[in-house]
Amino acid sequence: MRYSATSFSRSGVSDWLAQRVSAYILAAYFVVIVGFLLCNPGLEYAQWKEFMSGNAMRLFSLTALLALAAHAWVGMWTVFTDYLTERQMGAKATIIRLALQTGMVIGVFVYVVWGIQILWGN
């Protein structure tokens, strides 16, 4: 089996599964947030803060944030490896792809750290 250092996991099946599980987590998070907003039409900041400050919602938000990071990484890695090839872009395709993947890793990492600071900071 061939292993890519830039892949999310060891196989395409694992990447596919991570993509699907993360999509379900994000869909559930969306339903919870929209449901809360629909059930509270005159929502004020204090209610929103109380809802989002509970440990259960913080953990769910953290799970959704990590799911979003995994979903974004698998999706963009797939796009980069499928469409940024030597056949389509020439000899510099590998350099371009690795540069974009590096940028993606940095971006996802920054957003995850920032999200954790927002969720668990003071």
Spell out the residues 6+ positions from residue 29 whose beta carbon is closer than 8 angstroms to its own. Answer: 60, 61, 63, 64, 67
pLDDT digits (tens, 9 = 90+) for 52-110: 999 999 999 999 999 999 999 999 999 999 998 888 888 899 999 999 999 999 999 99
pLDDT at 2: 46
Residue 44, burial from CB neighbour count under 10 angstroms (0-12, 13-18, 19+): exposed
Question: What share of the chain has pLDDT > 70, as a percent?
Answer: 91
- The topology (CATH level 3) of 12-120 is 3 helical TM bundles of succinate and fumarate reductases (1.20.1300)
85: helix, strand or coil: coil
pTM for this prediction: 0.85
Considering only residues 1 and 74, tell me which one the structure prediction assigns the higher pLDDT.
Answer: 74
